Amino acid sequence: MPRPEPAMSSAAEPPRDCPLCPRLVAYREVNRAAHPDWWNGPAPSFGDPGARLAVVGLAPGRMGANRTGRPFTGDFAGVLLFDTLIRLGFARGTYEARPDDGLELIDCLITNAVRCAPPGNKPETSEEATCRSFLTARLDELPNLKVIVTLGDVSRRNVLRALGLKASAGVGGHGSEFQAGPYTVINSYHCSRLNTNTGRLTPQMFEDIFVRVRTLLDG
């Protein structure tokens, strides 16, 4: 699926044919052969380069961002995420699960710890490490960034490491909040189908995270 590259630096956004992780490249090639009309490349970050809020997910879902080219777009997790962002004023428009739905993020940018879809939705730790320089640059290139919401523990650990801290510098669990350098990090359970279907994460619990972000940003 064609999608214009956003005007973001190559340090922060891997190229469409990023060669760095052999296993993820092989998976991309399989998906390209089977679905040449899909995006099938690293999903570029999406949102406002002047954002005060960054939301960091895990990695593109095969049928979600890997298909559409926009983080959280086209898979189950995106429904709750974009609905919540719209309700809290961090997005405007209607989420229609396609990259040309006109949805706009306001004061918010969404990216992933790992930019390519991993088999079984599980990146290897070596892939997280390899992709981390993009995450570091992505966060560095947000001049107004104040708050980072991490979706799940893998995201939380990668954000801390991307900021040059130990993964143990912040605690896990839903709603945990800590300072990481100049940023406040708030960890949320991931808005995955598994977490929402089992009731581990309710829409209210998820909304509470972004209510807290709104308070931190605007008092």
Choose the binding region for ligand URA from 25-33, 53-61, 166-174, 200-208 (rule: CB under 6 A): 53-61
Among 48, 52, 68, 75, binds ligand URA (CB under 6 A): 75
Instruction: Pick the piece of the chain touching ligand URA (CB under 6 A) from 34-42, 51-59, 92-100, 161-169.
Output: 51-59
- Token pair 């100049």: residue: 182
Asked if 72 is part of the footprint of ligand URA (rule: CB under 6 A), the reply reads: yes
Which of 5, 138, 122, 139 is closest to 60 using CA atoms? Answer: 122
Give residue number: closest CB to ligand URA. Answer: 57
Q: Is 17 exposed, middle or buried (0-12, 13-18, 19+ CB in 10 A)?
A: exposed
Distance CA 11, CA 8 (A): 9
Distance CA 209, CA 186 (A): 7
Sole binder of ligand URA in the list 47, 61, 69, 118 (CB under 6 A): 61
- How does DSSP assign 101-131, residue by residue? S--EESSEEEEESS-SPPGGG---HHHHHHH
From residue 76 to residue 115, what is the string marking binding to ligand URA with x (rule CB under 6 A)?
-x----------------------------------x---
Residue 82 or 170 with smaller CB distance to ligand URA: 82
In contact, 174 and 191? CB cutoff 8 Å? no
Give me the torsion for CA of 179, 160, 80, 203, rounded to 10°: -50
Which listed range, 20-28, 60-68, 164-172, 209-217, lies at the site for ligand URA (CB under 6 A)? Answer: 60-68
By the rule CB under 6 A, 71 interacts with ligand URA = yes
Give residues in contact with ligand URA (CB under 6 A).
43, 57-61, 64-65, 71-72, 75, 77, 112, 151
